[in-house]
Structure 1
Amino acid sequence: MQRMDDATFIAWLAEAGITGAEPKSGRTWLYFGAAQDATRTWEAPDAGEARDAWLAAVVRAASAGGPWWLWPRGGGGWYGGFASAEGIAAAAGAAGVPRDFGGALGFGADETEPMMGLLRAFAAWPWNGGDDVYLVPADQSCVVMLCHDEEIHVFAPDRERLRTFGEDVRM
């Protein structure tokens, strides 16, 4: 697992034209600056095996082989600040995230299980905007926000990438 502090991660996103919109509920929204209208929302299926399969499809739609980056909405640490801190902290501990680390976590194709554990934790205990997490493939071809409203928001540089994401996420 790689680690990147918040400032470095935000600068890395900016290289691809990914910027933060006006904060909503005190939290950052990420989008492609030149294509704010290339967004779509998909609702998550009910909890359980269907949700796990759906999360795996979302990860594959973002990038079939990785690597991927996870970043808590608004940045910061992985052990506090969440309404559902206990569940997310347990997943962070199981993934080997240092307690004092704040920022983005990078996962290669051989590290999908700890990443999926974190995504399942965020999906299992959604409560408020502070419990959202971003998934960004290393090629920066899209931004996926796993939202506390039990849905994902996908931001892409153009409608074609959004279309291919939608085709790939269908189960």
Structure 2
Amino acid sequence: MNTDGITVSMSKGIKANFKLGEHLIEYWGSAYSGKEVLKVDGELIAESRNFKTKSVHEFNIDGKACQLTVSVTLLRKFSSVISLECEGKLVHSYQLTYGKTRKIAWYLKAIPFLLAGVLGWCFAADILTLLELVIFGCLTFAVSELLMKDQGWIIEEQKPCN
């Protein structure tokens, strides 16, 4: 999922860009390695590894104290909030939630089960060997996951209250 300032991917992590005046603040974080990188105008400000559910990076821009906070909620539903504050005021914030992004008709969801039934019948009738059954079953599962996927990242931009 991609919006103007943020890109989210399970494999590539979170990449967020914030504009503060003429300055560009870039954040990248990986859920797998725990690595976090913070840059201001291309200059490395902070680099760390963090597996905690909250990460706070403090830095200065033009003499102003700024803070980038990444907060992850794992229990109810997987969501994150990444926000930038400067001089104690919220500049920009994004809410990232992993959930349903589209509806799929019930009859389309039944296709993988029908194919599994056909494969099972072919195996029982000695048309398929066990190896062929496993291969075709894995292919059916992989194709249905690719085509019938209804999960993804929902990115909501949260405007500061001024």
TM over 0.5: no
Normalising to structure 1: TM-score of the pair? Answer: 0.29
Whose strand proportion is higher, 1 or 2? Answer: 2
Task: Give the greater-gyration-radius structure (CA).
Answer: 2
Question: More helix per residue: 1 or 2?
Answer: 1
